[in-house]
Structure 1
Amino acid sequence: MNNKVDLSTEIVPSYYIGIGASAGGLEALAEFFDNLPPETDAAYIVVQHLSPDFKSMMPELLAKHTNMPIFPVEDGVWVRPNCIYLMPPRKNMLLAEGKLLISDQMPANHPHMPIDIFFRALAEDQQHKAIGVILSGTGSDGTRGIKAIKESGGLIIVQEPNSAKFDGMPISAYKTGLADLSLPPSEMGDSILRFIRHPSISGERSQIKSTNGIEDDILDEIFKLLKQQSSINFSHYKASTVARRIERRLGVNQLESLEDYRRLLLESPRELQILSRELLIGVTRFFRDEEAFSILNTQVIPDIIENSLDSREGLRIWVAGCSSGEEAYSLAILFDEHLRSKGLDIPVKIFATDVDEEAIANASSGVYSADIIQDVSLERLERYFDRKETTYCVKPKVRQMVIFAVHNMIDDPPFSNINMVCCRNVLIYFQHATQKKVLSSLYFSLKTSGYLFLGTSESLGDLQTHFESVNERARIFVKISNARIPLGTHPPSLSYTSSNPESRVMSPVTRVLRAMKGNNGPRSGIVSVLQRLVEEYVPDCIVLNESFDAIHVYGDVSKYTKGIRHGKVSNNIKDIIIDDLSVAVSTALYRAEKNNSDVFYKDVTVGDISQNPVYIDLSVLVVSDSDQANAARHYLLQFVNQKEEIQKDTSNKKISFDVSEQSRQRIIDLENELIKKQEHLQVTIEELETTNEELQSANEELMSANEELQSTNEELQSVNEELYTVNSEYQQKIIELTEANEDLDSVVNATNIGIIFLDDQLAIRRYTSYATNYINVRESDIGRPFHHISHDLSYEDFFSDILKVSGNRVEIERSCSTDIGHEILVRLIPFQSIDEESESGVLITLTDITRQKNTEKSLKNTHDKMLSYFTTSGRPNKLLEYIGNISLLVIDDEELDLANICQLLKKIPGRKYTVFTAQTIDSAVEIINQNTIDLCLVDYMMGDYSAKDFVAELNAQEISVPIVILSGYPENGLDASFLRTQVFDFLSKDELNSQLLKRSIDYVLERRNLQSVFEEIGIE
């Protein structure tokens, strides 16, 4: 295993690939790394379900399938490219800022999910640079983790279930619909490399950010296709979000241009559905963000319930963008817990909406996989869920509290009279204008003192003044204003249409009148009269909002205001009113705002007093949108020229305007305000100074700690180098030891020898399976004293001999039998490890010698029988009696050779033979069938036939006659397999003589005769 990697430089991997595997994962991992292209510049972190009691051999096993360095993870290790990291057993692993952190697994009553834990940390730390791979395994670990990776924009690859030895984890991940690719492990490596090197993914070329007019049109067509498929207008989404998702799909499908992808969308409804689902990003879980839900549980929900005790309509909650429903059910559980603890019976309606019909359908079923045990406590699981095989189903009581519906928060009207709106991690995907529109809808939905629960990255924007923060970190706000903020789809009304002061516009009177009269209604004559009266008698006036910005003008006020000047244009009254009226107007507005009552000034001078001054009456009328105390207000600033005054008498309310007096009063008011502002500023400065001192102190501590860490880092670097050297040596020894151990196991298993290892206390350390045939030992007996174990051997001194061997270090060998008659050789051998200080023990070997014993007995029995037969039967005389009755058949197609052989037979002294001759195989067989033939002398080659054909014919007719081959060929040139059949001897014609024939005939007959003797005395 090669673990060489440059630790001196901090090279960041291009991608971080998390690989989750369980049962059967070793084969999948081996196949994955066997086919992985070299130098991908990515890091591979393997997370497995490992037994806490078993030392993993994964580094050694994987080293045979890859040349990349393999590292068992240590806490705080930097992740580097082209390296493999293995999670240790009994640990959970996280990734933070490019470092792997490990922690002990907490004891729990439910299964650990280390893959889910790591995948979530991987998604949070690396975002779109995360790739999740799910390989063979049982259960559902990794399913929730890939949801987090998908939400962050990462890639998900799942092993094709048919190729997995255990398909539980791949199927569970595939059913989520989040898998980008489903492949066998052998094809994953090439797909990953093509994805991370695709120009749109690597950043070499962006297909969206550098769009031209043509590509803008293509994007519009893609949006139209999406709207046809899902009825959602994704053009409201942030351009960066849409671009990132489309470019990601370009990388997954290995396409080069937007036009190619548009064609794919037209041809593949599935790809269109995948893109729509990715843009919706429907990922959530139960009690997501524990800190935020804890604040809801302790502060918000109790307050909502307390404020609704007298409400007849009960509690109304709106979960906008509910996705698969976990958040809605989480709120239902919290409300039910509080109501049950207080014994209250208040109806709760939770409106859970989403634009995705499929997500709403899944949420309505209320069925969730077993991995929710990571987010829901055991108590809540038991109270609010029913277990059905491998799933959990929400109980009817909770399900009835939630009403699911398809709803588009951008285009559809909002709900009303809501106590709390939960809209988390949805707004961040909308464009700014769409965010403002949706927030206005949420604001409209809430009751006064209603709560708004947003995602961690979302803000209120321009509506911040209408809410008060309950917890800024958790993004929980309470509505404190009842000001009317029209929705973006409503027509303009008497209130402003935007929270931006510069865009607030008052509707003209003519439009209001048109709205009142309708089209050609019966009251059109009266409305015309009212319009004429407004034109004739309404004085010149400016309508101001609460910020004193001019939002509408009636009449001609040009002589009281300034013209447009260079620079930034402002419609605030202090910037547009002429200098002669600035004191009077500011004083009147201040008093009207402070006292919330109308103010009337008379004899206000406009122009130079020494020449021809103009005197006007100035009034400020306060107009409230409703009778509520916090209703929005407008101010009507009226100007009436005393020479042209035609209005009702208000002299009893008018105050003669004294410039000096009003100026002094205004100065006093401004000074009082200034004093208050200065006091407030001083308090703020003191708080900032205190905070600054604390920050300086903390900064000094951090600098000191940083210096210590740098020093420690240098020491750790040195130690790490030493550990690396030692580790390399150990890795090599492990490889050698593993190979030697495998060879030893193979040898032991092949010898069929039972072996038992006893330690110095004579307790069982290890044994081979063959030993269980004679010693009644089981796996659970490891560590038990050997004398507790029974056996089937007739060996009375077994245990005492073991004690002798252990004490005296001598070797004892005994032969004994078993209860079923087997003969066993038992050897007791003392042993001690190479390390003299290590414990010594006894090695017991059990060898079955039953076969050897039986062979020994059989040989002895045969020897005795032979000896007895030849001693008592007079065997030497029988051959002489048999010699005169020999019938020979000579077979040769050559007449000269045939005559020569017969002549040699006649010359043998002391022997008389009855000789039959034949020149063909058929005639020879006929002679044998008609006569008793003791021996055949056969020529090997007879024309087109040979002695092999003759033997075959004899075998076919089941005739057994001993044969001697006569041939002109050497013996080594003949068929060896043929010579091992009925052929007893071989004679060369070139060396043939009477004496040789005699010896051969006697040898064959004696051998044949011995076979009959063996049969006679019962020897096989």
Structure 2
Amino acid sequence: MSSPSEEQQPTHYIGIGASAGGLEALQDLFANTPSDTGVAYIVVQHLSPDYKSMMPELLSRHSTMPIQQVTDSTELLADHIYLMPPRKNMMIADGKLLLTDVVPDNPPPMPIDFFFKSLAQNYAHRAVGIVLSGTGSDGTRGVKALKEAGGMVIVQEPDNAKFDGMPRSAVNTGFADLVLSASEIGASLVKYFQHPFIAGNTPKDYENDDDNQVYDEIFSLLKKQSSINFSQYKASTVARRIERRLSINQLNGLNAYHRLLLESPKELHTLSKELLIGVTRFFRDEAMFDYMQGKVVPELVKGAMARDQSLRIWVAGCSTGEEAYSLAILFKEYIEKEDLDCKVSIFATDVDSNAIAEASTGLYAEDIQFDVNPERLEKYFEPRPGGFQIMRSIRESVIFATHNMLEDPPFSNIDLVTCRNVLIYFQQGAQKRVLSSLFFALRYKGFLWLGPSESMGDLKSHFDQLSERNKLFQKVSNQRVPIGTHPPGLTLPGRPTAQLTMQPFSSSMRSPKPVANGPLSIVQDRLLREFVPSCIVLNENFDAVHVYGDVAQFVRPIGAGKISNNINDMIHEDLSVAVSTALYRCEKCQEDIFYTDVTLSDGEGKNKSIDLAVLYVRSGERDSPVATVSYVLQFQVNQVDQESDERYSTTFDAAESSRQRIMDLEAELVKKQEHLQVTIEELETTNEELQSANEELMSANEELQSTNEELQSVNEELYTVNSEYQEKISQLTELNDDLDSVINATNIGIVFLDESLAIRKFTAVANQYIHLRETDIGRPFHHQSHDLKYDELINDIAHVSNSGEVLEKAVYTKDETAVLVRILPYRNSGGRISRGIVLTLTNISRQRFVEAALEKAQSQLRSVVLEGSEPLALERNRKGIRVMLLEDDDVDQQRMKRMLQSSGRDYEITLCSTIDEAVTCVGNQEFDIWLLDYRLPGGTVGDFLERIGEHSTPGILMSGYVETDLEPGFLEAGVYDFLNKDELTAELLVRSIDFALERKKVQRVIDGEGLTD
């Protein structure tokens, strides 16, 4: 097959997704869409695999465009409608539609998502996705893919749809460009395609010297609205998205759009959202995540454990958080599988505060089940109404914050940075700045993960590329790379650099850097050295965080190996009991503790007596949940003349204190053990019950979920089938009404009997002969009375039912009306004879009347001929026959005149159009024959005959009306024959005239006037 010509190729490709209730929506859409838009329409539906769809036939009544059922490799042409077949998934590539079989035993098929993703991937901004009526969420993920590629999305107004599941789910993504009723979509598409920017006819005055200034003003509005400087984004991307908004809003220039942005905050928000392109999903690019799981995750975890530090990850441009949570799940799986003890901290940042707020909740729609495998979904997600929520332990491992990579400072000491599909939207200078920030953030041998279309640029020499396909890099240089200065005006006054609360570093013992070198700072340092005793500041875990003075004599020497800053590991052996006891009492009582005369050996055989104090320091209110507790461990060597404050201090007896401490600890331990045992037993019992109940619930839930999915799929298919059947029934009802009208117009009585000879249906005319009512349907026919003089009617019906023969009889009714009764076997659509019966009753009184008149004339003629003394002279070739034609229709006048003139006879024809003209003509001259129309202006031929009175001229009546409209007394008034205009021929007309003239002669003989004229 040859490829379509350039004129036949579509300018755009429109994917239309519909499910339950979609037939009506599709009819409304195409009924209001012109057939010359130059685009291709591809309809994707949920179809039953066991049902042959009538969609092409049903849609053809609402559109003049050719409608085609798709086969594999169907080439797309402009102004055509293509329908996806059942049991298939469909994709588009190179102007062709490709079909694949649906894989059985998989999750419910999502053919709309499948096609939309293919459409977005292949045609980007030339793609349009339309979501119509349906249940579920099919199409939602496809809508996101279309928006990411720059396509257009139109959704049917949920309140206008028969089933609002699919439209509402698509609207909730926030990516719908237009939300319209099905009947409005066609007109909007036409306006969109005819817009100069879409049609390729950009106005000449669009590009001018003021454009850059207008762009700057638009960027300024966006920055005020979202605090984002979009001037650093790629000009082509920004321009294309602004032009698309121009097309949707039917505006012709930047100035007009700038005015709209000034007047419409909603449009400003929409443009900002479009430029941010916040599209992502769980485990996006599954092959890349598999590579991470196999190669990178183990190495990162082992490296962090070797350093005895937590693993730090930064997800830059996290959007709504799916990728950050995906990494959290990946690391948690590995740590649990290897039974390791490693803390993972993930910092997820994005410039969009709305996206960050959404990500923090961890709530996602049901369609994530198609991105997350069932095991992970069950283990790390909790069902919620309308979707799922990430489990609490995963959410707690991820810290979300608003952060602008172009303006805000980066994090530091990061083991893994992911920044995927963000750099491609920045200009080159902005890309370099961001990459420098990411380089600074990474620790040596840290990993950087970019998007498939991104590269390292000038920093390539500072990284090893571990996977070219997966764009994974490892930092191999510690060389300082300047981040780069920000352009003037980038940072808004008063804006915080990063809305992120960082945890304090665990490397304590580090003195804070002075904030200034002024005189006050020097005085403070001198006061601290001279008057503050030697002390160690501890946090709530008894880890040393700061030291004042010289505490070398009170702590142990630092040995080789791992260093711990916990006070119990640092304190001198002689002071360990006193310090631990004091700290225990201080923590328990929440008050300062003072000990005196604590003995400390100086290592040379001499002992010192020191005073020991533990000060309780609490920040914030006592009951505040965010208050922090610190302890100050203070040491002071006693002098001989030093006086101690006996009000608060206690002489420290090491032996007594040790014994008391041991007794307290033992008592507390026994109590804790007893309480723990009881708790464990209760917990085990409860856990067993919960586990059993949970297993049952899980099993039941899986079965219900599977059943629900199957029922939902079947329900959608049944509804689609039902919609098509309803449409077909509507057509059949209309055809049946037409058939009834035709049958009634024939003035023939018809009775339908079933195989048991019960009444199935009848026409109103049948009531004239057989006494039937609507309530008689279903009753045996022999129960009905009738006016026919036909005693063998029931027997004849039974005979036809058994033999299949056709029986026809002419009978009379009780009022002497002649009726032709025909009894026929019923034939079905295949032509086969069933045991049903069709009974027809036709009034043949007119035929009998004519026959009787002819028989009477024939009898009279025979009598004259056989008994008369002279033979009857009939002049068949008589010349100059005078004819008056009374006919009000000019066409019929000329028609009959031509018939008479073409017969070869000599007729003198006088034409009259009204009764008055005819009466005048008859009064002024004689005629041999009258040709009379039945219906005339102001009356009928009866009125004419009545006004003429007694006459001897024979007449022939002509009419297009049925027999019941005529008056039987016309023959007695001199009308000798009746001709139907619809059946009239020249031969029949001449023969009828001859018959009338001959009969007139016979009548004259009968009347005694003789045969000679």
Aligned to 1:431: 427
- Give 5+ residue unaligned stretches, structure 2: 488-513, 521-726, 744-749, 762-778, 781-797, 806-823, 840-1013
Per-residue deviation, residues 854-884 of structure 1 (Å, max 9, x unmatched): xxxxxxxxxxxxxxxxxxxxxxxxxxxxxxx
Aligned to 2:195: 198
Indicate yes or no: 2:478 matched with 1:478: no
Query: Structure 1 counterpart of 2:411, which letter?
Result: F
Aligned to 1:299: 295
Per-residue deviation, residues 341-371 of structure 1 (Å, max 9, x unmatched): 1112311111111000111111111111111
Query: Structure 2 counterpart of 1:476, which letter?
Result: L
How far apart in 2 are the matches of 1:737 and 1:178? 39
Indicate yes or no: 2:97 matched with 1:116: no
1:322 to 305, 318, 325: 318
Closer, same or farther in 2 for the Cα pair 1:520/1:330, shift >3 Å? Answer: closer
1:273 to 259, 269, 273: 269
Aligned to 1:599: none
Which piece of structure 1 moves more, 182-191 or 223-232?
182-191
How far apart in 2 are the matches of 1:316 and 1:842? 85
How far apart in 2 are the matches of 1:9 and 1:747? 48
**Equivalent pair of 2:10/2:40 in contact (CA under 8 Å):** yes
Mapping of residues 91-240 of structure 1, within 5 Å:
91-205=88-202, 210-212=207-209, 214-240=210-236
How far apart in 1 are the matches of 2:221 and 2:438? 29
Closer, same or farther in 2 for the Cα pair 1:846/1:463, shift >3 Å? Answer: farther
Closer, same or farther in 2 for the Cα pair 1:756/1:205, shift >3 Å? Answer: farther
Query: Structure 1 counterpart of 2:125, which letter?
Result: H
How far apart in 1 are the matches of 2:70 and 2:46? 15
How far apart in 1 are the matches of 2:753 and 2:343? 75
How far apart in 1 are the matches of 2:137 and 2:752? 44
Aligned to 1:402: 398
Mapping of residues 453-602 of structure 1, within 5 Å:
453-489=449-485
Per-residue deviation, residues 424-467 of structure 1 (Å, max 9, x unmatched): 11000101011000001111111222111111111100011111
Q: Name the SS for the 2:8 alignment partner.
A: coil
1:210 CA drift (Å)? 3.4
Aligned to 2:413: 417
**Equivalent pair of 1:208/1:247 in contact (CA under 8 Å):** no
Closer, same or farther in 2 for the Cα pair 1:210/1:338, shift >3 Å? Answer: same
Closer, same or farther in 2 for the Cα pair 1:38/1:346, shift >3 Å? Answer: same
Aligned to 1:263: 259
How far apart in 2 are the matches of 1:139 and 1:420? 38
Aligned to 2:35: 38
Q: Name the SS for the 1:308 alignment partner.
A: helix
Give the percent of matched residue pairs that are identical in Structure 1 and Structure 2: 53
Query: Structure 1 counterpart of 2:197, which letter?
Result: S
1:489 CA drift (Å)? 3.5
How far apart in 2 are the matches of 1:292 and 1:396? 26
1:313 CA drift (Å)? 2.5
**Equivalent pair of 2:158/2:164 in contact (CA under 8 Å):** yes
1:310 CA drift (Å)? 2.2
Indicate yes or no: 2:362 matched with 1:359: no
Per-residue deviation, residues 275-299 of structure 1 (Å, max 9, x unmatched): 0001100001111112211211211
1:78 to 75, 88, 91: 75
**Equivalent pair of 1:94/1:117 in contact (CA under 8 Å):** yes
How far apart in 2 are the matches of 1:381 and 1:756? 61
**Equivalent pair of 2:76/2:95 in contact (CA under 8 Å):** yes
Closer, same or farther in 2 for the Cα pair 1:736/1:369, shift >3 Å? Answer: closer
Query: Which protein has greater RCO, CA pairs closer than 8 Å, 6+ apart?
Result: 2
**Equivalent pair of 2:826/2:837 in contact (CA under 8 Å):** no
Query: Structure 2 counterpart of 1:75, which letter?
Result: D
Closer, same or farther in 2 for the Cα pair 1:355/1:61, shift >3 Å? Answer: same
Query: Structure 1 counterpart of 2:396, which letter?
Result: Q
1:753 CA drift (Å)? 8.9
How far apart in 2 are the matches of 1:100 and 1:157? 22
Query: Structure 1 counterpart of 2:239, which letter?
Result: A
1:747 CA drift (Å)? 8.4
Query: Structure 2 counterpart of 1:43, which letter?
Result: A
1:64 to 61, 68, 75: 61
Per-residue deviation, residues 12-59 of structure 1 (Å, max 9, x unmatched): 211111111111111111111111123111111111111111111111
How far apart in 1 are the matches of 2:10 and 2:327? 41
Indicate yes or no: 2:386 matched with 1:387: no
Aligned to 2:248: 252
Mapping of residues 545-694 of structure 1, within 5 Å:
none
Per-residue deviation, residues 808-833 of structure 1 (Å, max 9, x unmatched): 99789xxxxxxxxxxxxxx9999895
**Equivalent pair of 1:5/1:69 in contact (CA under 8 Å):** no
Mapping of residues 817-966 of structure 1, within 5 Å:
833=830
How far apart in 2 are the matches of 1:752 and 1:377? 65
How far apart in 2 are the matches of 1:280 and 1:95? 27
How far apart in 2 are the matches of 1:481 and 1:174? 47
How far apart in 2 are the matches of 1:372 and 1:450? 30
**Equivalent pair of 2:325/2:394 in contact (CA under 8 Å):** yes
1:468 CA drift (Å)? 1.0
Q: Name the SS for the 1:309 alignment partner.
A: helix
Query: Structure 1 counterpart of 2:228, which letter?
Result: I
Number of residue pairs the alignment of both structures matches = 554
Query: Structure 2 counterpart of 1:137, which letter?
Result: G
1:490 CA drift (Å)? 9.0
**Equivalent pair of 1:110/1:373 in contact (CA under 8 Å):** no
Q: Name the SS for the 1:67 alignment partner.
A: coil
Query: Structure 1 counterpart of 2:347, which letter?
Result: F
How far apart in 1 are the matches of 2:202 and 2:483? 40
How far apart in 1 are the matches of 2:755 and 2:323? 60
Per-residue deviation, residues 898-942 of structure 1 (Å, max 9, x unmatched): xxxxxxxxxxxxxxxxxxxxxxxxxxxxxxxxxxxxxxxxxxxxx
Indicate yes or no: 2:87 matched with 1:90: yes
How far apart in 1 are the matches of 2:136 and 2:728? 36
**Equivalent pair of 1:207/1:247 in contact (CA under 8 Å):** no
Q: Name the SS for the 1:102 alignment partner.
A: strand
How far apart in 1 are the matches of 2:309 and 2:60? 68
- Give 5+ residue unaligned stretches, structure 1: 492-515, 523-734, 758-767, 772-791, 794-804, 813-826, 835-840, 850-1020
Indicate yes or no: 2:366 matched with 1:370: yes
How far apart in 2 are the matches of 1:743 and 1:305? 75
Aligned to 2:931: none
Q: Name the SS for the 2:330 alignment partner.
A: helix
TM-score, L = length of structure 1 = 0.50
Closer, same or farther in 2 for the Cα pair 1:844/1:408, shift >3 Å? Answer: farther
Closer, same or farther in 2 for the Cα pair 1:395/1:192, shift >3 Å? Answer: same
Closer, same or farther in 2 for the Cα pair 1:414/1:845, shift >3 Å? Answer: farther
**Equivalent pair of 1:207/1:258 in contact (CA under 8 Å):** no
Indicate yes or no: 2:49 matched with 1:52: yes
Aligned to 2:1007: none
Query: Structure 2 counterpart of 1:351, which letter?
Result: F
Q: Name the SS for the 2:307 alignment partner.
A: coil
Query: Structure 1 counterpart of 2:43, which letter?
Result: V
How far apart in 1 are the matches of 2:355 and 2:282? 15
How far apart in 1 are the matches of 2:307 and 2:454? 31
1:519 CA drift (Å)? 11
1:309 CA drift (Å)? 2.3
How far apart in 1 are the matches of 2:455 and 2:11? 32
Closer, same or farther in 2 for the Cα pair 1:487/1:846, shift >3 Å? Answer: farther
RMSD: 4.3
1:224 CA drift (Å)? 0.7
